[in-house]
Structure 1
Amino acid sequence: MKSSLRIAAGIAGAVAGFIATIGLLELTGFGNRADPITTGLVALFVIAPIGAVIGLVLATKLATRKDDNSGGLARNSLKSLGVVVLLCLAAGVTYAVYAYTTATPWLNPNASNPLLVFEVRLPAEATVPTSPQGITIELQTDINTMPGEVTPYAFYRDGDQPVIAGEVELAFRTSHRQLAVNIQGQPSRIYPIDLTARAPHTPEFGTWRRLADGSEIRYRAKWPGKT
């Protein structure tokens, strides 16, 4: 029990020494104000840890000065230092996990983006512009918007209904996606895109999904190198 208290005292001393050193550096105007980044790194990773070690040793010494039977100063200091190092490693791992999970959620970092390949089946009375410039496509997410492209050679008719086709890049990992299709002379159409955040590759189109105006959409995610 006494050994545990001495180790706890050492940990508390290390924390106090770290904080006190940072405060002292701030009060004394330590470093080069023209280069605050380097100054901060030196203070945080060089000088403050020295203060933490000094605080650890002093606190351990105060806790062991009356009774040395359960272990010497050096042994208790090393135990306290070991615990502090483990806590720092745990904090570093926690921060790394947090930074990774909250970083920019690229779907395919350092490589080509996957594509959302889609077809829109319009009502029978709808007309399709003769020029692709009359059709604009935009993928809208909670992170970004991305212009898409139509694929005129893939247009066709399904009975009396015209079908237009196109594709747009999927840059980010998000489940909040919708596709805006604007055809000249027609109301704007917004289609929900029900893909998971990671948008896995699918070789075939999904089922048709209908809007209230009678138009329908089907789509799939196409990853680089796959068909």
Structure 2
Amino acid sequence: MKSSSRVAIGVVAAMAGYVATFVLLSLVDFGNRADPITSGLLGLLVYSPMGAIAGAVLANWLMGSAGKQTSSGSIASNSLKSLGVLALLCIAGIGIYIAYAYATATPWLNRNGANPLLVFEVRFPAGVRVPTSEQGIAIELQTDLNTMPGKVNQAASYRDGDQAVIAGEVELAFRTSHRQLAVDIQGQPSRIYPIDLSARAPHTPEFGTWRRLADGSEIRYRAKWPGKT
């Protein structure tokens, strides 16, 4: 039998030895019942690896006996190769799991730099008094994952006839389609505007259409990604 085949069978045997040892320890209720966590770690990290070593050595010894190649050096070499391959597979599996967990556990919109922005304009009904400075206006993006304070851009704010329009922006940190923008003006009821963007909020160069609330105020917005206008 070729050496590569022996190594592959040794890997399978090592895996079987690991699992069999752990299952056996569980069946015989091995360890300290008062400290099951330590007992479990001993089983996973000490005794089960010993079972993997025994499985690899036994498989290579049986294959060596069947092929009339029973030198201890050959058996030890193939066993070490089998255990090395198994260790590499375990490391690769752990690495893949960590990468997957990192990518999915925290759904950042942009992990590599600055976050994209929600750029918005809010147009108020005629007669509504709007402060001419940032004082007295509070902006907050609310999602199912976080809240983020926004800011008013006074330089971009303007009047549309007899209606005041405030402009502003707020960071979009997470992938979620559950977003709303709270605009609070001192002395007035809070206004909550639904933000209808997809979870990934792709960049759009222009504002969408105006969307009206029941009180007559309106909002339009777009997502702006770093490096784009």
Q: 2-side partners of 1:50 and 1:175: how far apart?
A: 49
Q: Deviations over 1:118-161 (max 9, x none)?
A: 00011113111233211100011111111111111222122222
TM-score for both structures, normalised by structure 2? 0.70
Alignment of 1:70-219 (within 5 A): 88=90, 91-92=93-94, 95-219=97-221
Is the CA contact (8 Å cut-off) linking 1:115 and 1:168 kept in structure 2?
yes
Alignment of 1:8-27 (within 5 A): 11-17=15-21, 27=31
Structure 1 gaps, min length 5: 29-35
Is the CA contact (8 Å cut-off) linking 1:135 and 1:181 kept in structure 2?
yes
Is the CA contact (8 Å cut-off) linking 2:11 and 2:86 kept in structure 1?
no
Deviation at 1:164, TM superposition (A): 0.9
Provide the identity percentage: 68
Partner SS for 1:133: coil
Alignment RMSD (CA, Å): 3.9
Partner SS for 2:155: helix
Distance 1:86 1:109, change over 3 A: closer
Q: Deviations over 1:155-197 (max 9, x none)?
A: 2122222111111111222221110000122111111111122
- Which 4+ stretches in 1 moved above 4 angstroms? 5-10, 18-22, 71-87
State the match for 1:31 in structure 2. none
Q: 2-side partners of 1:20 and 1:101: how far apart?
A: 36
Corresponding letter in the other structure for 1:188: S
State the match for 2:52 in structure 1. 52
Structure 2 gaps, min length 5: 1-5, 33-37
Distance 1:80 1:148, change over 3 A: same
TM-score for both structures, normalised by structure 1? 0.70
Corresponding letter in the other structure for 1:194: D
